[in-house]
Structure 1
Amino acid sequence: MRRGICLLEEVEFHPMNSRRPLEYLRWLTEYKKEDETLEPGRHVLTKGRSIRSRDIDLVGAFYAVGITGHPQFKVVTLWDCHGGWDGGWRQMLEIYTGVKENLFLSSVDDLRFTAYSRPLGAAPGGPALADATGAEFFVLESARVRPGAALDYLAAVREERVPLLADHGHRPVGLYEVLLCDTEVVTVWATDLDSHLALQRSYDAALGLDDEIDADERLLAWRKRAREFLDGTWRETLLSPYPGSRLAPA
């Protein structure tokens, strides 16, 4: 089986105008909903809306919760490239051949301030994005690892952290190495508000900072274990799925 190929995009909006991320989320989910009527394998570059294809699947469109540690405001999107390298990924690259004029004409020009995209490759044994289902919240982990250690870190996540977080109401959506580099990983987890809060308190209790809830010492052990692979920043951001994307709660 070929590995899954995905795309993660983080979009920021400045100056601080809370309507802009809403306008973008609404625009994005509505036009991708229309793409579901296209035949598999058919794609076209259109003026104002970039590439149209059902094989470039908007699985998740999220509003990033600003108080969890990033510049406000931010939208995060997760795309599944059906068919992998030779499918949706190839279609995305084909729009750049010839540098066509309509590549530069967008109906959301001046709405976004910055956009940062990262291609992702699914790690062996990780969940398939096609099987992902909705949840109240999602946790996006982005970490820098030692050069070449991405798949080793993700194997440890699969074997050790997945069962640990399952006990705290978190299920994995995707375990990915960031492609075209060898120092980044991304993991995505589905959860709910109560589970998120209980996990934070259990970690505090393991540190001796909360005596009103049971501690889970495995959380501290995992942090120590992760440092065997990490070589820089590690961060988690809480994401709220926007209605209209597949990962929004039913």
Structure 2
Amino acid sequence: MRRGIYLIEEVDFRPMNSRKPLEYLTWLTRYKKEDEALDAPELTRGLSIRSREIDLVGAFYAVGITGHPQFKAVTLWDCHGGWDGGWRQMMNIYDGVNDRLFLSDIDDLRFSAFSRPLGAVAGSPALADITAEGYAAPFYLFESARVRPGAALEYLDAVRRERAPVLADHGHRPIGLYEVLFCDSEVVTVWGMSLEDHLSLQRARDAALGLDDEVEPDPRLLDWSRRSRDFLDGPWRETLLAPFPGSRLSPAQAPPGG
């Protein structure tokens, strides 16, 4: 079985205008819905490659109170067929750099966008399997971490063996464990959970710190924090994401107004 290749993108909207992320996510989810009827990739209206092999699995509105510049959207893409499938199709649009690639319906809507190509590691679920199952969570946890150069696979293996079982006990399901490609010092993980599971996890950690005496502590959460420092070499951050209606990982399948 070939390696799963994915793409995650963070999009910022400035100056602060709460309508911009709504307009962007509504446009994007509707645009990609049209691709489900396509039999072969094609370049259309200079917007992007149109293909069922490049699948918008998740479109999310980042929960601002969890710590990032507001406003932000996050998208998660599945390159079906890996390097020789969706990834090849994305690369093909740069062959000759057709002028139409620079004409877009969403020009000036985004302030900036940061894409990271992701490679699934051993034990990471396949997004296609998760969506085929029909799984969708009310919230997702998006972790981005900088690790020691060359330690990405070690860190993710420790996450799979040591952290994932602890999070599972608190209702968190792994969606993807990824090495950020074309660099040797960054990883991304994504987890699905309910709001109640998110809250219970935070309180269990507080209790382990001696800051909440009304719930059962889970010292394993603190054990992982110490263990992770064997691999980390810089910023580590988790952000909560709310799935936008119309993407495959959203419990609601229709975008607002759709």
> 8 Å contact 1:45–1:52 — kept in the other structure?
yes
Q: Which residue of 1 aligns with 2:95?
A: 97
Unpaired segments of 5 or more residues in structure 1?
none
Structure 1 position 20 matched with structure 2 position 20: yes
Kindly state the Cα deviation for residue 6 of structure 1 after the two structures are TM-superposed.
0.1
In the alignment, the residues of structure 2 paired with residue 96 and residue 67 of structure 1 have an alpha-carbon distance, to the nearest angstrom, of: 38
Kindly state the Cα deviation for residue 48 of structure 1 after the two structures are TM-superposed.
4.6
> 8 Å contact 1:5–1:121 — kept in the other structure?
yes
| Deviations, residues 142-185 of structure 1 (Å, cap 9, x unaligned) | 00000110011000111111110000010000000000000000
> 8 Å contact 1:48–1:107 — kept in the other structure?
no
> 8 Å contact 1:29–1:245 — kept in the other structure?
yes
Structure 1 position 131 matched with structure 2 position 133: no
Kindly state the Cα deviation for residue 73 of structure 1 after the two structures are TM-superposed.
0.4
- Change in 2 beyond 3 A, CA 1:109/1:80: same
3-state SS of 2:30 partner: helix
Equivalent position amino acid for 1:225 in 2? R
Kindly state the Cα deviation for residue 249 of structure 1 after the two structures are TM-superposed.
1.3
Give the TM-score taking structure 2 as reference length.
0.95
Kindly state the Cα deviation for residue 47 of structure 1 after the two structures are TM-superposed.
2.0
3-state SS of 1:235 partner: strand
Unpaired segments of 5 or more residues in structure 2?
253-258
Structure 2 residue corresponding to 1:112, chosen from 107, 110, 113:
110
3-state SS of 1:36 partner: helix
> 8 Å contact 2:145–2:188 — kept in the other structure?
yes
Structure 1 position 65 matched with structure 2 position 74: no
The percentage of aligned residue pairs carrying the same residue is 74
Equivalent position amino acid for 2:23 in 1? E
In the alignment, the residues of structure 2 paired with residue 177 and residue 146 of structure 1 have an alpha-carbon distance, to the nearest angstrom, of: 13
Give the TM-score taking structure 1 as reference length.
0.98
Q: Which residue of 1 aligns with 2:48?
A: 50
| Deviations, residues 39-73 of structure 1 (Å, cap 9, x unaligned) | 1xx21222252111010000000000001010000
Q: Which residue of 1 aligns with 2:174?
A: 172
In the alignment, the residues of structure 2 paired with residue 240 and residue 31 of structure 1 have an alpha-carbon distance, to the nearest angstrom, of: 20
Q: Which residue of 2 aligns with 1:3?
A: 3
Structure 1 position 228 matched with structure 2 position 221: no
> 8 Å contact 2:150–2:184 — kept in the other structure?
yes
In the alignment, the residues of structure 2 paired with residue 60 and residue 155 of structure 1 have an alpha-carbon distance, to the nearest angstrom, of: 24
Equivalent position amino acid for 1:191 in 2? M
Equivalent position amino acid for 2:249 in 1? L
3-state SS of 1:89 partner: helix
Equivalent position amino acid for 2:96 in 1? G
> 8 Å contact 1:170–1:191 — kept in the other structure?
yes
3-state SS of 1:233 partner: strand
Equivalent position amino acid for 2:28 in 1? L
| Deviations, residues 57-115 of structure 1 (Å, cap 9, x unaligned) | 00000000001010000000000000000000010011011111001000000000000
> 8 Å contact 2:47–2:100 — kept in the other structure?
no
Task: After the TM superposition, list the runs of 4 or more consecutive aligned residues in structure 1 that deviate by more than 6 angstroms.
Answer: none
Q: Which residue of 2 aligns with 1:77?
A: 75
Equivalent position amino acid for 1:11 in 2? V
Question: What count of residue pairs does the alignment treat as equivalent?
Answer: 248
